[in-house]
Structure 1
Amino acid sequence: MTSHPSLETASEILRESRNPALRSLLEYWISIHPGDRLPARRHFDPLAVKQALPSLVLTDVERDPYRFKVRLMGTAVVSAMGKDLTGRYLDEAWPDAQDQPLIVDRIEVARSGQPSYRYGLTPTKFRLDFAPIERIYLPLAVDGERVDMILSMMIYLARDGGSGAAAEGA
């Protein structure tokens, strides 16, 4: 059995990631990974990562054109953003985000089936405008191949680089 390339990418991200809750989520995603294909939403048990729940966002992936609809948004995310986007498309909430990592990185995850990690500043304005972030996008696919959901977690960091209390995962 050949390992899916997303496992190697996830292992590399695990070595780079800093936030313990984000690392726990990534370790859990690796543990539910079937090996030769992507995990599906049905493999993900939110109760297995209770500490991450407030910081999670689950988005549905639509194609032609790519759009991302928020299915679930954790309470820390809602707090950091100042609004709940559950049931809305990301491009409706941020009409100018089409060329920003918020959308571009999700498109790459949907196309490649590879997790995406970012640490640093983001150009997307949130309630905590331009705070440093640590975030991960994890692909999910009901058929193991075509990404139909993206599980994300984003942690806002204090301006001094320490871990902040608020998290955002859009």
Structure 2
Amino acid sequence: MMDLMQLTTVAGMATAARTGLPGYPQSDLLTRGHQLWLAARGATEMPALSHIAASAQLEPMRPQTLVFALEHTPFDFRYVEIGSRMMTLSNDDYTGKLLSEVPHQRPPSLVWDHLAAAVDARAPVRGVLPYVGRSRDIASILHIVLPLAEDGETVDHLLVCVDLAQVVRLQDGTHPFTQLG
């Protein structure tokens, strides 16, 4: 099975935006995040947070990003930066908090699993999460978790780019799963 990085080089011309992963919802924002990660890493296995954070390409995406610091003992993730759009959707300001301190994100949870998978793989991980919140216009959360390493090898931060899948509505404006009767 090809990974996203291989898809960007198929025939030397294809991009992840055109080919994508079969069955995976497509997102220009996630593709741009992955391309930024690839460009920033250069010859290293992973780019450093300092290289990504200084990139002008990150600025338009920043409202829909999260940065986590990896805690090693015990293993955990600390919220370092929360984009403005993510802060608006959140029920709380998690800046500085550990993921294990957030009841619906501590293990076992899909959020934890997706972050841990990127650390273990030392490679980008795409995922889809159900949206649980107040907005009736958001169906799910699409994201890519991008591992970062100051030394190019040891994961120390994660950049998460988030896109929001809108609820599909019928022509009359109703949700397609509205119960009749």
Which of the five TM-score ranges fits, normalised by the shorter chain?
Answer: 0.7 to 0.9
| Letter matched to residue 118 of structure 1 | G
| Letter matched to residue 94 of structure 1 | P
Gaps of 5+ in 1: 1-7, 162-170
CA displacement 1:39-98 (0-9 Å, x = unmatched): 111211253222211001000001233211010000100111132211111221225630
Secondary structure, counterpart of 1:48 in structure 2:
coil
Report if aligned partners of 1:139, 1:151 keep a CA contact under 8 Å in 2: yes
- Higher RCO, Cα 8 Å, sep 6+: 1
Candidates 65, 71, 86, aligned match of 2:80: 71
Candidates 107, 112, 117, aligned match of 1:108: 117
Q: How does 1:11-22 map to 2 (within 5 A)?
A: 11-12=6-7, 14=16, 15-16=20-21, 18-22=26-30
The share of aligned pairs that are identical, in percent, is 20
Report if aligned partners of 1:60, 1:68 keep a CA contact under 8 Å in 2: yes
Figure out how many residues of one structure are paired with residues of the other and give that number.
152
Q: With structure 1 as the length reference, what TM-score do the two structures score?
A: 0.77
Question: Is the aligned partner of 1:160 residue 2:168?
Answer: yes
Gaps of 5+ in 2: 9-15, 170-181
Root-mean-square deviation (CA, aligned residues, Å) is: 2.4
| Letter matched to residue 118 of structure 2 | V
Report if aligned partners of 1:21, 1:51 keep a CA contact under 8 Å in 2: no
Which is richer in helix? 1
Report if aligned partners of 2:29, 2:161 keep a CA contact under 8 Å in 1: no
Query: Which structure has the bigger radius of gyration?
Result: 2
Secondary structure, counterpart of 1:72 in structure 2:
strand
Structure 1 residue 9, shift from structure 2 partner = 4.1
Q: How does 1:56-135 map to 2 (within 5 A)?
A: 56-94=65-103, 97-119=106-128, 121-122=129-130, 125-128=132-135, 131-135=139-143
Secondary structure, counterpart of 1:94 in structure 2:
coil
Report if aligned partners of 2:71, 2:77 keep a CA contact under 8 Å in 1: yes
